[in-house]
A and B are shown apart, each in its own frame.
Chain A
């Protein structure tokens, strides 16, 4: 057991060490290279203009060894959800006694194409606004996502499709920085149409995900 474990560890250490060596070597070479370049004051393309009127006999400050990138370009690392992996469900039971507010995000109801569960580009703006308002105004509150379908589809098919729609919205909101544990979903399939009509206009209104603000009791 120990032997088998120690071998890869040593290789790892070795690999790490050589990696550090390589970096160190590269940095020192770069530093040497820089000094050389300055000593000879070889004009580097693009830098020539800066040298107009320069007195090359004057000592010049050395540039910092680490190139400085302006602060507004410093990358910040955010872990993005793996789009190939679904995000585990929030426990809906936890929010059973929470107070519902169906009006707050009524205007941000997300609509879907026929038989589709992806959030359309035109609907993303609504979710960006929801995410912004949740972060700024509703810290500690939760958001329930209710998935619905039109009647064109069989009942249990639509229950699964409504589930998938609610989960697509949830994934988008999680990617926009909301805590998925505070985003429970529920599917109603075709049980609760917003418009009881049987026209294309009614169907379009029924293919939706409603967002309900939940406040702790």
Chain B
């Protein structure tokens, strides 16, 4: 099994005065004017990037695309991103109109790629106020053949994939508890049981090993609890437990199947799917129990795989007609529960910036992961590992 230290390369940002470039040396601490689309998403901030070549240039542009910053021709730009990769990544962000420098930094340690990611995060944070995602990780399921799959992790853009398991069994639904712990189901012992896996040590502990099915784990935002589907009572029902599996509580008791739970960012509600009324519908229920409430997804039949955005505003999910489509719907039931169709695909997982999604698409057993910038619907397909990649989960 692969072992790896998941500490990000130490990135040292050094403030540099770029006085020779003819711009004002002091960092600008003005409020960046922002404009929003009708759904409340920030419109991409137009920047012109120059001075970078090859991989560094491509990585920087991709990173910014999924963080609300768009590379445009010079004449359309409001901000200028300039820099170089000679020896170390150096870069600066300048307001084109005022020539005010927002920052100038040099990055040392780690690979050029890692330094570019750090630079991209700094640009995005400065211009959008949203958390950077360029240095985040994601996990996914990689199939080596029918009935053989492993848990993988990689950079958010699919770079540097690492096998977390090598059980030559079936795994399902990997999801993050924190930056160094994953939960997933494994068929290694026969029935699917839920395990917690420490990435640094490889240590595994059973979280749910009840008779019947144990699957679809979802960890509460504070990492203290797990929602999951267990069929120990004789029907697949929604349960919640402490993160070690103790204190198990059954939240649904339907005769039909419940599936794919997720948490609200405040940890109070669990959104999940149920066939209780004959076809798949989304519901939310208090994590401490109570009556479930139907979440309307008007215009999106057969909703499954909900994922609550970290800012609490949206629930992304998969709708199924003849194909699968990614939709979002206001989490508070607003907009009359009318969902917004985005692109063809399945199993969306939100980025920490509540703007980008990672999802999968393609024929069964030949799926590929993709990134999506929700407001612009820009998509980037990620390189495939083994035969099929699915069930992506963006690290917290």
Q: Verify that A and B bind, or say they do not.
A: yes
Interface status of B146 (Cβ within 8 A of chain A): yes
Are A190 and B364 touching (Cβ within 8 A)? yes
In the complex, which of the residues A92, A154, A192 contacts B211, with contact meaning CB atoms closer than 8 Å? A92
In the complex, which of the residues A88, A90, A156, A191 contacts B304, with contact meaning CB atoms closer than 8 Å? A156
Q: How extensive is the interface on chain B, given as a class?
A: 35 or more
In the complex, which of the residues A91, A159, A191 contacts B216, with contact meaning CB atoms closer than 8 Å? A159
Interface status of B258 (Cβ within 8 A of chain A): yes
- Secondary structure of the B contact surface, majority rule: loop
Take A164-B235, A164-B257 as given contacts and tell me if A198 and B191 are in contact as well, using a CB distance cutoff of 8 Å. no
Number of A-B contacts (CB under 8 A): 134
Are A186 and B147 touching (Cβ within 8 A)? no
Please give me the residue from chain A that is nearest to B279 by CB atom: A115
Interface status of A17 (Cβ within 8 A of chain B): no
CB contact list, B349-369 vs A, under 8 A: 363-365
CB contact list, B226-243 vs A, under 8 A: 229, 231-236
Are A159 and B259 touching (Cβ within 8 A)? yes
- Secondary structure of the A contact surface, majority rule: loop
Are A196 and B365 touching (Cβ within 8 A)? yes
Interface status of B54 (Cβ within 8 A of chain A): no
CA–CA, A54 and B132, complex, Å? 107
Are A191 and B170 touching (Cβ within 8 A)? yes
Interface status of B249 (Cβ within 8 A of chain A): no
Residues of chain B lying within 8 A (CB to CB) of residue A154: 260, 304-305, 318, 320, 324, 346-347
Are B236 and A160 touching (Cβ within 8 A)? yes
Please give me the residue from chain A that is nearest to B185 by CB atom: A159
CA–CA, A86 and B255, complex, Å? 7
| Proximity string of chain B (208-228) to chain A, C-beta cutoff 8 Å, 1 when within and 0 when not | 011111011000000000000
Residues of chain A lying within 8 A (CB to CB) of residue B347: 154-155
Are A187 and B146 touching (Cβ within 8 A)? no
Q: How close is B167's CB to chain A, nearest CB, in angstroms?
A: 14
Residues of chain A lying within 8 A (CB to CB) of residue B154: none
Interface status of B128 (Cβ within 8 A of chain A): no
CA–CA, A115 and B146, complex, Å? 22
Are B234 and A86 touching (Cβ within 8 A)? yes
Q: How close is B335's CB to chain A, nearest CB, in angstroms?
A: 24
Interface status of B271 (Cβ within 8 A of chain A): no
B215, B258, B305 — which one has the most chain A CB atoms within 10 A of its CB? B215
Interface status of A177 (Cβ within 8 A of chain B): no
5 shortest interchain CB distances as A-B pairs: A86-B234, A89-B212, A89-B211, A160-B257, A151-B364
Chain B residues at the A interface, C-beta cutoff of 8 Å: 146-147, 149, 170, 172-173, 189-192, 209-213, 215-216, 229, 231-236, 255-260, 273, 275, 279-280, 304-305, 318, 320, 324, 346-347, 363-365, 390-391
Chain A residues at the B interface, C-beta cutoff of 8 Å: 84-93, 96, 115, 117, 151-157, 159-161, 163-164, 167, 171, 184-193, 196, 198
